[in-house]
Amino acid sequence: MSDMTLDLMEEPTCGILERHPDVHARSLVQLGKSNSEAAFSSVEPVGKIGRIPRMTIHAFCDNPQVAAVIESAAADRLLSRAQTTVQLGGIAAAVGLYQETPTPNLILVESRSSAAEFLSELDSLADVCDTGTKVVAIGYANDIGFYREIMKRGISEYILAPVQPSTLITTISQIYSEAASSKFGQVYAFIGAKGGAGSSTVAHNIAWSMARHTKLDVIVADMDLPFGTAALNFNIDGGSSIVEALQDPGRIDEVLLDRLLTRCGDHLSLLSAPATLDQAFDLDEAMVERLVEVAQASVPFLVLDLPHHWTAWTRSTLRTADEIIITATPDLASLKSTRSLVDFLKKMRPSDPPPKIVLNQVGMPKKPEIAPKAFAEAVQLGAEACIPFDAHLFGTAANNGQMVAEVSARATSTKAFAGIAEKLTSRQSVKGNNNRARIGLRSLIEKLRRS
């Protein structure tokens, strides 16, 4: 575990899409080799990858083990919008079903048949498929000629068995990547390990840095309805609040969202909390999910400033966010809560990278604290940054309704916030052996085009 300093941490390990730009690239390269050379290795958990849009998926398998893999993938948060059904019977079952019923958005078929029989089964399936339905085939034939015949039939992708849940998720995401990328922005959920950890301050400063760094639109949603401070921190009159959108989820659309947004600066807008105790705020999961869907369809980046409350909608929001950032302080209570959150999120989001940790208020005078290195070892996760305690800097920013960078552009905290924002919004470069994988895939594709 690397040591933490009062500046940015060493760059974290890239996700699967950054280490392996095309998950199925290896399988395609293997198809160009002899059977004795081919070995489709298991794929690690997916990293930065967009959630699959709302859709219906039907899977038909010959092998119960493959069916179990598809069911495991369907339980992943990246496929939470899709309605997935899995049944045995192979392609024959699919053909029988679709002679009587319309086909879904996506069909997954697995067959243990020989290459020639598999192609014949796919031809039968094509006869009953509606226009617009996509098909992903899972098979055991490891041959470039077979792959060429598969693609000629309009199959969206061929996956060489055995298949892992992460491979399946990434393949589906790649098929719908263009539609998904145009529809969904990235969602970043910020939550404190305990009350007073400074999660809201961290969220607001990083959101401000995102807007400045990318020159793209960012929405900050203050989800702490009774006690939210985002309006104060950005020095604006809250005006219309996020409650208006949550009261009637059926009314939430881009027009209503635009009316409720308050501009905080170039490319930065706020959905403010009412910050009142006049009513109780018992949110429903569906309400929050609908708000997030509309917001992320409107802008490239949505920052959710979550309260330190453990409710059904908080859990649901954390489950579906693209990135989770936990703000912790270097003390025992915060360490305990951070470890609990990290462990829970790893179980709830098995195909995602772990949450990111920001260690805040480091170096507070006369206060015993856990060393950053010891904190990282205890939670088994290094921090993205350590934010030094600076009462004057943060106090001045809070009292003036400014971000830290507006008070001191050269402060260590300013650089830390900017660095985290850049990491969250920028794709890492692909290095080393992955470039060779890309070259191999490119040459294979060129061969297929010439054939």
Q: What is the pLDDT of residue 236?
A: 86
Class level of CATH domain 184-425:
alpha beta
Q: What is the pLDDT of residue 18?
A: 31
Q: What is the pLDDT of residue 240?
A: 62
pLDDT tens-digit map of 126-183:
888 888 888 999 988 888 888 888 888 888 889 888 888 888 888 888 887 645 444 5
Question: What is the C-alpha separation between 435 and 441, in angstroms, rounded?
Answer: 10
Question: What is the C-alpha separation between 209 and 357, in angstroms, rounded?
Answer: 17
Question: Domain 17-48+51-180+430-450 is of which CATH architecture?
Answer: 3-Layer(aba) Sandwich (3.40)
Q: Which of 135, 159, 154, 177 is nearest to 69 (CA)?
A: 159
Q: What is the pLDDT of residue 26?
A: 35
Reported pTM: 0.66
pLDDT tens-digit map of 15-52:
322 323 333 333 333 333 333 233 223 334 444 555 67
Taking all residues of the chain, what is their mean pLDDT, rounded to a whole number?
79
Q: Report residue 125 CA to chain centroid gap.
A: 33
More confident site: 195 or 18:
195
Q: Which of 288, 379, 396 is nearest to 328 (CA)?
A: 379
Q: Which of 312, 250, 299, 297 is nearest to 270 (CA)?
A: 299
Residue 305 pLDDT class (50, 70, 90 cuts): very high
- Residues 109-123: what's their mean pLDDT? 89
Q: What is the pLDDT of residue 34?
A: 33
pLDDT at 378 over 90: yes
pLDDT tens-digit map of 218-241:
999 999 988 988 988 998 876 667
Each domain of the chain, given as residue ranges in start order, spans 17-48+51-180+430-450, 184-425
The reply to whether 17-48+51-180+430-450 and 184-425 are identical in fold is yes
Residues 6+ apart with CB under 8 A from 184: 50, 51, 53, 296, 297
